Amino acid sequence: MASSERDADRARYVQDMFAAVARRYDLANHVLSGGLDHRWRARAARACGHATEGTVLDLCAGTGDQAVALLKRASRRGRVVACDFSRPMLLRARAKLAKAGLARRAALLEADAIRLPLGDRSVDACVCTFGLRNLADMRRGLAEMVRVVRPGGRVVVLEFHQPRGSGLLAAAFGLYFRRILPRLGRWISGRDRGGYRYLVESVDAFGSAEAVVEAMRAAGLEGVRTEPLPGGICALFVGRKSR
Protein backbone atom coordinates (compact mmCIF):
# COMPACT_ATOMS: atom_id res chain seq x y z
CA MET A 1 0.00 0.00 0.00
CA ALA A 2 1.33 3.44 -0.95
CA SER A 3 2.19 5.95 1.76
CA SER A 4 -0.62 8.30 0.69
CA GLU A 5 -3.16 5.46 0.96
CA ARG A 6 -1.90 4.51 4.42
CA ASP A 7 -2.17 8.13 5.53
CA ALA A 8 -5.73 8.35 4.18
CA ASP A 9 -6.72 5.11 5.94
CA ARG A 10 -5.23 6.33 9.22
CA ALA A 11 -7.04 9.67 8.91
CA ARG A 12 -10.38 7.93 8.33
CA TYR A 13 -9.81 5.61 11.27
CA VAL A 14 -8.99 8.49 13.63
CA GLN A 15 -11.93 10.52 12.34
CA ASP A 16 -14.38 7.64 12.89
CA MET A 17 -12.91 6.87 16.30
CA PHE A 18 -13.36 10.42 17.60
CA ALA A 19 -16.88 10.58 16.19
CA ALA A 20 -17.70 7.44 18.16
CA VAL A 21 -16.47 8.78 21.52
CA ALA A 22 -17.52 12.44 21.11
CA ARG A 23 -20.63 12.15 23.28
CA ARG A 24 -18.74 11.48 26.51
CA TYR A 25 -15.27 12.55 25.47
CA ASP A 26 -15.05 15.36 28.06
CA LEU A 27 -16.00 13.15 30.99
CA ALA A 28 -13.46 10.56 29.92
CA ASN A 29 -10.70 13.17 29.64
CA HIS A 30 -11.39 14.63 33.08
CA VAL A 31 -11.56 11.27 34.84
CA LEU A 32 -8.67 9.62 33.04
CA SER A 33 -6.34 12.59 33.64
CA GLY A 34 -7.31 12.86 37.30
CA GLY A 35 -8.73 16.33 36.60
CA LEU A 36 -5.35 17.68 35.47
CA ASP A 37 -6.40 18.33 31.88
CA HIS A 38 -7.85 21.76 32.75
CA ARG A 39 -4.55 22.84 34.33
CA TRP A 40 -2.61 21.58 31.35
CA ARG A 41 -4.80 23.51 28.90
CA ALA A 42 -4.49 26.68 30.99
CA ARG A 43 -0.68 26.36 30.78
CA ALA A 44 -0.94 25.94 27.00
CA ALA A 45 -2.99 29.14 26.80
CA ARG A 46 -0.43 31.03 28.89
CA ALA A 47 2.36 29.76 26.65
CA CYS A 48 0.81 31.69 23.73
CA GLY A 49 1.76 34.94 25.46
CA HIS A 50 0.33 38.16 24.03
CA ALA A 51 -0.98 36.32 20.97
CA THR A 52 -4.21 35.68 22.90
CA GLU A 53 -5.01 39.35 22.31
CA GLY A 54 -5.11 38.60 18.58
CA THR A 55 -6.22 35.46 16.71
CA VAL A 56 -5.09 32.01 17.84
CA LEU A 57 -5.61 28.84 15.83
CA ASP A 58 -6.72 25.98 18.08
CA LEU A 59 -5.75 22.99 15.95
CA CYS A 60 -7.29 19.58 16.66
CA ALA A 61 -9.73 21.52 18.81
CA GLY A 62 -11.92 18.58 19.80
CA THR A 63 -14.86 19.60 21.98
CA GLY A 64 -13.52 23.11 22.61
CA ASP A 65 -11.88 22.99 26.04
CA GLN A 66 -8.67 24.56 24.73
CA ALA A 67 -10.60 27.25 22.86
CA VAL A 68 -12.43 28.15 26.07
CA ALA A 69 -9.14 28.29 27.99
CA LEU A 70 -7.66 30.61 25.35
CA LEU A 71 -10.63 32.98 25.29
CA LYS A 72 -10.90 33.15 29.08
CA ARG A 73 -7.29 34.31 29.20
CA ALA A 74 -7.69 36.88 26.41
CA SER A 75 -9.26 40.31 26.47
CA ARG A 76 -12.44 40.97 24.48
CA ARG A 77 -10.25 41.55 21.42
CA GLY A 78 -8.98 37.97 21.43
CA ARG A 79 -10.32 35.54 18.85
CA VAL A 80 -9.94 31.78 18.32
CA VAL A 81 -10.29 29.67 15.20
CA ALA A 82 -11.18 26.19 16.47
CA CYS A 83 -10.24 23.64 13.80
CA ASP A 84 -10.94 19.91 13.79
CA PHE A 85 -11.78 17.34 11.14
CA SER A 86 -14.41 15.62 13.33
CA ARG A 87 -17.81 17.26 12.90
CA PRO A 88 -19.34 15.63 16.02
CA MET A 89 -16.49 17.10 18.08
CA LEU A 90 -16.96 20.57 16.57
CA LEU A 91 -20.71 20.47 17.26
CA ARG A 92 -19.94 19.90 20.91
CA ALA A 93 -17.36 22.68 20.82
CA ARG A 94 -19.97 25.06 19.41
CA ALA A 95 -22.40 24.24 22.22
CA LYS A 96 -19.69 24.60 24.86
CA LEU A 97 -18.56 28.00 23.55
CA ALA A 98 -22.16 29.22 23.41
CA LYS A 99 -22.80 28.09 27.00
CA ALA A 100 -19.68 29.98 28.13
CA GLY A 101 -20.82 33.12 26.31
CA LEU A 102 -17.80 32.96 24.00
CA ALA A 103 -19.37 31.92 20.69
CA ARG A 104 -19.05 35.36 19.09
CA ARG A 105 -15.29 35.32 19.59
CA ALA A 106 -14.75 31.88 18.04
CA ALA A 107 -14.93 30.58 14.49
CA LEU A 108 -15.32 26.84 13.90
CA LEU A 109 -13.45 25.29 10.98
CA GLU A 110 -13.88 21.69 9.83
CA ALA A 111 -10.61 20.83 8.12
CA ASP A 112 -7.64 18.46 8.09
CA ALA A 113 -4.62 19.76 10.01
CA ILE A 114 -2.23 18.82 7.22
CA ARG A 115 -4.23 20.78 4.60
CA LEU A 116 -5.42 23.95 6.31
CA PRO A 117 -7.68 26.29 4.28
CA LEU A 118 -6.01 29.33 5.87
CA GLY A 119 -3.72 31.91 4.34
CA ASP A 120 -0.03 32.27 5.05
CA ARG A 121 0.72 34.31 8.19
CA SER A 122 -2.98 34.63 9.00
CA VAL A 123 -2.96 33.92 12.78
CA ASP A 124 -0.90 35.19 15.71
CA ALA A 125 -0.24 31.78 17.26
CA CYS A 126 -1.22 28.13 16.96
CA VAL A 127 -1.98 25.64 19.72
CA CYS A 128 -2.28 21.90 19.10
CA THR A 129 -3.55 20.05 22.16
CA PHE A 130 -3.32 16.24 22.24
CA GLY A 131 -3.57 16.15 18.46
CA LEU A 132 -0.08 16.06 16.98
CA ARG A 133 0.33 12.32 17.47
CA ASN A 134 -3.00 11.72 15.68
CA LEU A 135 -1.93 13.37 12.44
CA ALA A 136 -1.26 11.16 9.43
CA ASP A 137 1.99 13.10 8.93
CA MET A 138 3.37 14.99 11.93
CA ARG A 139 5.94 16.92 9.92
CA ARG A 140 3.37 18.12 7.39
CA GLY A 141 1.14 19.18 10.26
CA LEU A 142 3.93 21.18 11.87
CA ALA A 143 4.78 22.75 8.51
CA GLU A 144 1.16 23.90 8.19
CA MET A 145 1.19 25.37 11.70
CA VAL A 146 4.34 27.33 10.89
CA ARG A 147 2.95 28.47 7.54
CA VAL A 148 -0.20 30.06 8.97
CA VAL A 149 1.48 31.76 11.97
CA ARG A 150 2.77 35.30 11.60
CA PRO A 151 6.50 36.03 12.13
CA GLY A 152 7.25 36.24 15.83
CA GLY A 153 4.24 34.09 16.68
CA ARG A 154 4.40 30.88 18.70
CA VAL A 155 3.50 27.30 17.98
CA VAL A 156 2.46 25.49 21.17
CA VAL A 157 2.05 21.73 21.32
CA LEU A 158 0.56 19.95 24.35
CA GLU A 159 1.11 16.22 24.14
CA PHE A 160 1.35 13.03 26.17
CA HIS A 161 4.63 11.25 26.76
CA GLN A 162 5.83 8.32 28.82
CA PRO A 163 7.70 8.98 32.09
CA ARG A 164 11.44 8.67 31.65
CA GLY A 165 13.42 6.03 33.45
CA SER A 166 12.43 2.67 34.89
CA GLY A 167 11.45 3.51 38.46
CA LEU A 168 8.22 3.13 40.40
CA LEU A 169 6.46 6.00 38.60
CA ALA A 170 7.18 4.54 35.18
CA ALA A 171 5.96 1.10 36.29
CA ALA A 172 2.76 2.51 37.82
CA PHE A 173 2.09 4.59 34.73
CA GLY A 174 2.62 1.59 32.46
CA LEU A 175 0.10 -0.47 34.46
CA TYR A 176 -2.50 2.31 34.47
CA PHE A 177 -2.02 3.38 30.88
CA ARG A 178 -1.99 -0.06 29.26
CA ARG A 179 -4.26 -2.12 31.53
CA ILE A 180 -6.66 0.16 33.34
CA LEU A 181 -7.20 3.13 31.02
CA PRO A 182 -8.70 1.21 28.06
CA ARG A 183 -11.23 -0.56 30.33
CA LEU A 184 -12.03 2.60 32.25
CA GLY A 185 -12.47 4.49 29.00
CA ARG A 186 -14.91 1.89 27.74
CA TRP A 187 -16.94 2.09 30.95
CA ILE A 188 -17.12 5.89 30.87
CA SER A 189 -17.82 6.30 27.17
CA GLY A 190 -20.16 3.35 26.85
CA ARG A 191 -18.32 2.34 23.70
CA ASP A 192 -15.91 -0.31 22.59
CA ARG A 193 -12.57 0.43 24.21
CA GLY A 194 -10.80 0.51 20.84
CA GLY A 195 -10.56 4.29 21.00
CA TYR A 196 -8.74 4.18 24.30
CA ARG A 197 -6.58 1.30 23.15
CA TYR A 198 -5.67 3.55 20.23
CA LEU A 199 -4.63 6.24 22.75
CA VAL A 200 -2.15 3.83 24.32
CA GLU A 201 -0.81 2.71 20.96
CA SER A 202 -0.53 6.26 19.62
CA VAL A 203 1.51 7.44 22.63
CA ASP A 204 3.79 4.41 22.34
CA ALA A 205 4.33 5.07 18.62
CA PHE A 206 4.69 8.83 18.91
CA GLY A 207 8.29 8.87 20.01
CA SER A 208 10.27 10.82 22.55
CA ALA A 209 10.08 14.44 23.64
CA GLU A 210 13.42 14.96 21.93
CA ALA A 211 11.91 13.81 18.63
CA VAL A 212 9.14 16.41 18.94
CA VAL A 213 11.67 19.16 19.59
CA GLU A 214 13.70 18.07 16.58
CA ALA A 215 10.62 18.01 14.34
CA MET A 216 9.59 21.50 15.47
CA ARG A 217 13.05 22.84 14.73
CA ALA A 218 13.04 21.14 11.32
CA ALA A 219 9.73 22.88 10.58
CA GLY A 220 11.47 26.24 11.01
CA LEU A 221 10.74 27.12 14.63
CA GLU A 222 13.37 28.75 16.83
CA GLY A 223 13.99 28.65 20.57
CA VAL A 224 12.05 25.42 20.93
CA ARG A 225 11.68 24.48 24.58
CA THR A 226 9.98 21.76 26.59
CA GLU A 227 7.97 22.45 29.74
CA PRO A 228 7.08 19.39 31.90
CA LEU A 229 3.57 19.62 33.34
CA PRO A 230 2.03 18.50 36.64
CA GLY A 231 1.27 14.79 36.56
CA GLY A 232 4.45 13.80 34.75
CA ILE A 233 2.76 12.28 31.70
CA CYS A 234 2.59 15.22 29.29
CA ALA A 235 4.56 18.31 28.33
CA LEU A 236 4.34 21.60 26.50
CA PHE A 237 6.54 22.19 23.47
CA VAL A 238 6.88 25.83 22.51
CA GLY A 239 8.64 27.34 19.50
CA ARG A 240 8.73 30.74 17.78
CA LYS A 241 8.45 31.51 14.09
CA SER A 242 11.25 33.86 13.11
CA ARG A 243 10.18 34.87 9.61
Q: What is the pLDDT of residue 164?
A: 58
Q: Which domains does the chain have, with CATH numbers?
A: 3-241 (3.40.50.150)
Q: What is the pLDDT of residue 11?
A: 60
- How many secondary structure helices (H) and strands (E) does the chain include? 10, 7
- Identify the DSSP state of 58: E
Nearest 5°: phi and psi at 191?
-120, 170
Q: Measure the CA–CA gap between 50 and 31, rounded to whole angstroms.
A: 31
| pLDDT tens, residue order, the chain (243 aa) | 555 666 566 566 666 666 556 566 676 666 656 678 899 999 999 999 999 999 999 999 999 999 999 999 998 899 999 999 999 999 999 999 999 999 999 999 999 999 999 999 999 999 999 889 888 899 999 999 999 999 999 999 998 876 655 556 556 666 666 666 666 656 555 555 455 565 666 666 666 788 899 999 999 999 999 998 876 678 899 999 997
Let me know: does 167 contact 196? Beta carbons within 8 Å: no
C-alpha torsion sign, points 125, 86, 211, 9: negative
Q: Measure the CA–CA gap between 164 and 33, rounded to whole angstroms.
A: 18
**HSE (side-chain half, CA atoms, 13 Å) at 54:** 17
